[in-house]
Structure 1
Amino acid sequence: MRSRILAVLVSGVLAAALTACGSDSGDGGQVLRVGTLTDAPPAIFFEDGRFTGYDNELLREIAKREGFAVEFVGTEFAGLLAGVANGRFDIGSSTISSTEARKATVAFSDGYATEYTTIVTEDGARLDSAAAFKGKRLGVVQASVQDDFATNRVDGAEVVRFPDYNAGFAQLRNGTLDGWVVPRDIGTQYLEQNADAPLELGYTIESKETPSAFAVSKDNEELLDKLNKGLAAAIADGTVAKLWSRFYQDTPLPKELAQGGPGLPVRNPGA
């Protein structure tokens, strides 16, 4: 009974966060709506009534530089890109991998993080290759790049889709999943926050080809230019490096994002 009551309380908190808005006042500039997640630390999360994390704090810094304000709105990932494309959100901020398939729906800023995808498993499972997961149940966030990875690069796995990270992690903990496919930093954070869980980071791959980037409407070239200009300035003056060290203490900063670095350019179709 205690577990059921706790589950209801946690669900209530998440529901409140999904409907919450957090506005950052600017200097009288335009207020832009930002769709973001609530449960993917350290990149994006909801804490003490505020949307935060590396992605969102970086976006706040860009907004300051470019003279606009941001209003964060909690949402589920499955509908985020469609929400950007149809104008519900001006910006998508959710450690979004800038894949070619997604560029058919939205445009992406230049990148602000490289990617590591990992499969979290039971401690000692020794599932250390994609082939080892044939016939296994893999949990993913629906429509995420991890969903694509599990579906197309892990032959024979049974892919189980969830609306958010919390739901997938809960199923992994209770033993109904064999693996949970997530960005490595998110997996690391969950394991640190749940040290009692007998889990470990397993099979991991790295990619710099589709860096995490902010999503905007394909028609909003002005906003895209502002995001890229503000991001370049934040890399140049070391702001990105400072935010990285704040949120990713155990992960080396990609050299492209170091102070004065070249950044992680993203090319959109037709650009």
Structure 2
Amino acid sequence: MRSTLSKILAVATAALALTACGSSTDSGAKTLRVGTLTDAPPSIYLENGTFTGFDNELLRDIAKREGFEVQFVGTEFASLLANVANGQFDIGSSTISTTEARKKTVAFSNGYSTGFTTIITKKGAGLTALPAFAGKRLGVVQASVQDDFATKVGGAEVVRFPDYNAGFAQLKNGTLDGWVVPKDIGQKYIDQNPAVPLDFGYTVETKDTPSAFAVAKKDKDLLAKLNDGLAKAIADGTVARLHAQFFKTEPLPKELEQGGPGLPVQNPGV
């Protein structure tokens, strides 16, 4: 079941959809609307009513460098890329993996993180290999990369949710056998819920589709700004600093270390 906060944000998102993207502030800086999630720490989440997390703080830094401002709007992942493509949002910021299928809908900035996909289970379940999940119920956020991953787990029943909180609630009450999530998000939920006996059942590294910001294919100027600001943030160590702030144990990819070459993303036809 969705939290009250998520419901409020959904209503706010619907109302804000009537506002045109790319408005200007009194200071003259252009304000861009950013679609993001509310419940996926440490990457993207709400804290005391403010959108934060690694992805969103990095985007704030890039915006400052490139002369625009950002207005974050809570949304569900399943509709995020379509709403970037149709102009409801100027940018998508939600640890979005740069798959070839998604490149048909939007263009992506260069990558700012890599990670791992994991299946979280109840402690002691003994589900540590993919064949063990045949006949099991796997929860995922709808339209996520983890959704794609789960559909390829032979014999598993995939149960789709609009957000991470809803999936976690079902895992906690025992109606799911596994919860497929990015490992850093799963670790955060485990850390924040020590009374719930959970464990990592199966984990696989995902290096070929780094996370990136999404923009409409036609918005080449904004894409160039995002890449320019990201390159500067890598060069001066800002990406490394933010990564260390939000990811306490996960190593930073060498490409994103201070002065590193970055993680280039190709956008066919853009």
Per the normalisation by structure 2, the TM-score is 0.93
Deviation, 1:270, is 2.3
Q: Quote the residue 1:126 is aligned against.
A: 126
Q: Quote the residue 2:106 is aligned against.
A: 106
Q: Given that residues 26 and 68 in structure 1 are in contact (C-alpha distance below 8 angstroms), is that contact kept between their aligned partners in structure 2?
A: no
Q: Quote the residue 1:43 is aligned against.
A: 43
Q: Quote the residue 1:4 is aligned against.
A: none
Deviations 1:102-141 (A, max 9, x none): 0000000000010200000010112111111011000000
Q: Given that residues 26 and 67 in structure 1 are in contact (C-alpha distance below 8 angstroms), is that contact kept between their aligned partners in structure 2?
A: no
Deviations 1:195-228 (A, max 9, x none): 0001111200002110000000011110000000
What amino acid sits opposite 2:213 in the alignment?
F
Deviation, 1:165, is 0.3
Deviation, 1:28, is 2.5
Where has structure 1 moved over 2 Å in runs of 4 or more? 16-23, 25-28
What amino acid sits opposite 1:244 in the alignment?
H
RMSD: 1.8
Secondary structure at the residue paired with 1:231? helix
Q: Quote the residue 2:171 is aligned against.
A: 172
The separation in 1 between residues aligned to 2:12 and 2:67, in whole angstroms, is 24
Count the aligned residue pairs.
262
The yes-or-no answer on 1:147 pairing with 2:139 is no
Deviations 1:229-254 (A, max 9, x none): 00000000000000000000111111
Q: Quote the residue 1:17 is aligned against.
A: 9
Q: Quote the residue 2:202 is aligned against.
A: 203
Deviation, 1:26, is 9.3
Deviation, 1:16, is 2.3
- Structure 2 gaps of 5+ residues are 17-22
The separation in 1 between residues aligned to 2:235 and 2:37, in whole angstroms, is 28
Q: Quote the residue 1:59 is aligned against.
A: 59
Distance 1:240 1:270, change over 3 A: same
- Structure 1 gaps of 5+ residues are 1-6
The separation in 1 between residues aligned to 2:191 and 2:133, in whole angstroms, is 24
What amino acid sits opposite 1:138 in the alignment?
L
Q: Given that residues 3 and 165 in structure 2 are in contact (C-alpha distance below 8 angstroms), is that contact kept between their aligned partners in structure 1?
A: no
Distance 1:158 1:41, change over 3 A: same
